Amino acid sequence: MTNNKKFLKIGIVLYPTFGGSGVVATELGKELASKGHEIHFITYSKPVRLSELRENIFFHQVTISNYPLFDYTPYEQVLTSKLVDVVKYEKLDLLHVHYAIPHASAAYMAQQILKSQGINIPFITTLHGTDITLVGKDPSFEPVITFAINMSNAVTAVSENLKQDTLEHFKITNEIKVIPNFICPKHYQLENNEIYKKRYAPNGEFIITHISNFRKVKRVDDVVKVFRKVRKLIPCRLLFVGDGPERGNIEIAVRSSCEREDVLFLGHLDSTREVLNISDLFLLPSETESFGLAALEAMASSVPVITTNAGGLPEVVDHNVNGFLSKVGDVDDMAKNVMTLLNDVTKLSEFKVKAREKALEFDMQKILPIYEQLYRDVCSSMNG
Ligand code: GMT
């Protein structure tokens, strides 16, 4: 029986870009592979965090057709065909798809095709947030999302808040299990960072960092507003990491302002560890975050987080303990919270310690067995 096998063959379907869902899916796959499971990543380009060759890891590229008749390339269909092919050829035990659309609906279709050929494969859907909170609220997607979630053999959400949001907006008959995002504590352990720190803050300024994909939902303009207020009173520098639709506007705004020398745009970085290592505070004024992986990665690097009380963020950041939560858009309050910490280095140090302590609750070694158990449960219920 599949569930009695010590190691499973797992197909992971994900968005391979810099988004949090892709990062979680890739890190999960890498860790499962290091434990002995065989991992097959299936997506349209190599996941960003999958840089080097590793044992037990395989990548299957979904090639997008450019047949001239198609005004819109049917990605879901080519993904479905690829899933059927990989499941059959590699003899996979299960599929774990990250993001409801189109991954869960493609997995369902692949499952049905395989069933007609006598192959039973379960699929697990992990909801990451933007599939539900933003895209999901577009009514045109609703029937597909509801169906794909209800047809999944198991469904997980990355926070209690996302679970409740999903139940509120869709008619869900399936159980949703909450499995939070995770980090590898060793990866984010502080190291001697004096050389880097001097490079980015030559006069001993505090370093405030923001990392995101610069989408509207991140409210990056609030980062600048908060920084301006703080910098008037405290010497500090702002490091922006990442790229995305809003970056251009933000850069233009910063260039014409008097604090431009103190704001640096570093663009996409394969690893954010080094920059977090030299940061004093992390600023994440998002409109919503189903979880806030970027906040957790900062906390794992002992960096307190100044953020909003939106979505799942209060499940990660404890107000006035390891960071602060403000109302969305309340830049005065966020600036006040930044200054509370930068004006009191003892408090700042306490918050840094508490941030790391909190992040350890999300140690990958605690979360991984939960996924492994779910995989086994799903495989055994499939095999009857
Ligand atoms: O935040 C983004 O824009 C990327 C997005 C994604 O779909 O990849 O991240 C979502 O999933 C992450 C991993 O589960 C969560 O930590 C992020 O909070 C969530 N983003 C939003 O809800 C806006």
Candidates 342, 306, 333; CA nearest to 209 is 306
Å from CA of 330 to ligand 1 middle: 22
State the pLDDT at residue 134.
63
Å from CA of 127 to ligand 1 middle: 10
Helix, strand, coil percentages (3-state) for the chain, rounded to 5, are 45, 15, 35
pLDDT, tens digit, 9 for 90 and up, residues 147-194:
999 999 999 999 999 999 999 989 999 999 999 999 999 999 888 888
State the pLDDT at residue 135.
64
Report whether residue 301 contacts ligand 1, using a CB cutoff of 6 Å.
no
- CA dist 123 and 110 (Å) reads 10
State the pLDDT at residue 1.
42
- CA dist 328 and 48 (Å) reads 30
pLDDT, tens digit, 9 for 90 and up, residues 356-365:
999 999 999 9
Q: Give the mutation target among 176, 290, 307, 362 for probing the ligand 1 site: most ligand atoms within 8 A of CB.
A: 290
How far is CA 308 from each of CA 3, 157, 186, 188, 324, rounded to the nearest angstrom? Answer: 42, 20, 27, 23, 8
Q: Tell me which DSSP letter residue 351 carries.
A: H
CA gyration radius, the chain: 22
Which atom of ligand 1 is least distant from the CA of 291? 18
- CA dist 22 and 42 (Å) reads 12
384 band by pLDDT with thresholds 50, 70 and 90: low
Q: What is the DSSP string of 165-224?
A: HHHHHS---S-EEE----B-TTTT-----HHHHHHH-TT--EEEEEES---GGG-HHHHH
Residue 76, helix vs strand vs coil: helix
Report whether residue 308 contacts ligand 1, using a CB cutoff of 6 Å.
no
Q: Which residues contact 370 (CB under 8 A, 6 or more apart)?
A: 179
Q: Are 368 and 24 in contact (CB under 8 A)?
A: no
State the pLDDT at residue 308.
98
Q: What is the DSSP string of 225-286?
A: HHHHHHHTTS-EEEEEE---TTHHHHHHHHHTSTTGGGEEEEE--S--HHHHHT-SEEEE--
Place of tokens 């939560």: 325
Average pLDDT, the chain: 93
Q: pLDDT higher for 5 or 289?
A: 289
How far is CA 236 from each of CA 116, 202, 226, 298, rounded to the nearest angstrom? Answer: 63, 11, 12, 18
Report whether residue 80 contacts ligand 1, using a CB cutoff of 6 Å.
no
State the pLDDT at residue 84.
98
In the chain, domain spans: 9-182+363-383, 185-362
Omega of the bond leading into 102 within 30 degrees of 0 (cis)? yes
Nearest CA to ligand 1 atom 2: 19
Å from CA of 21 to ligand 1 middle: 6
pLDDT, tens digit, 9 for 90 and up, residues 121-160:
999 999 998 877 666 567 888 889 999 999 999 999 999 9
Å from CA of 294 to ligand 1 middle: 9
Mean pLDDT value across residues 296-325 = 98
280 band by pLDDT with thresholds 50, 70 and 90: very high
- CA dist 228 and 243 (Å) reads 21
Report whether residue 307 contacts ligand 1, using a CB cutoff of 6 Å.
no
Mean pLDDT value across residues 15-30 = 91
Q: Do 185-362 and 9-182+363-383 fall under one CATH topology?
A: yes
287 band by pLDDT with thresholds 50, 70 and 90: very high
Percent over 70 (pLDDT), the chain: 97
Percent over 90 (pLDDT), the chain: 80
pLDDT, tens digit, 9 for 90 and up, residues 49-76:
887 778 999 999 998 877 777 777 789 9
Report whether residue 211 contacts ligand 1, using a CB cutoff of 6 Å.
no
Q: Give the mutation target among 130, 162, 178, 216 for probing the ligand 1 site: most ligand atoms within 8 A of CB.
A: 130
Mean pLDDT value across residues 239-267 = 93
Which value, to the nearest 10 degrees, does the dihedral of the CA atoms of residues 128, 217, 361, 241 take?
A: 110
- CA dist 129 and 288 (Å) reads 9
State the pLDDT at residue 137.
65
Q: pLDDT higher for 202 or 50?
A: 202
pLDDT > 50? residue 323: yes
- CA dist 378 and 384 (Å) reads 10
Report whether residue 130 contacts ligand 1, using a CB cutoff of 6 Å.
yes
> Which amino acid is residue 361, in one-letter code?
E
* Topology of domain 9-182+363-383, CATH: Rossmann fold (3.40.50)
Residue range 185-362, CATH number: 3.40.50.2000
Report whether residue 57 contacts ligand 1, using a CB cutoff of 6 Å.
no
Place of tokens 């198991």: 154
Q: Are 250 and 271 in contact (CB under 8 A)?
A: no
Mean pLDDT value across residues 86-106 = 96
Candidates 81, 66, 88, 48; CA nearest to 242 is 48
Candidates 230, 228, 211, 236; CA nearest to 339 is 230
Report whether residue 29 contacts ligand 1, using a CB cutoff of 6 Å.
no
> Rounded to two decimals, what is the model's pTM?
0.95
3 band by pLDDT with thresholds 50, 70 and 90: low
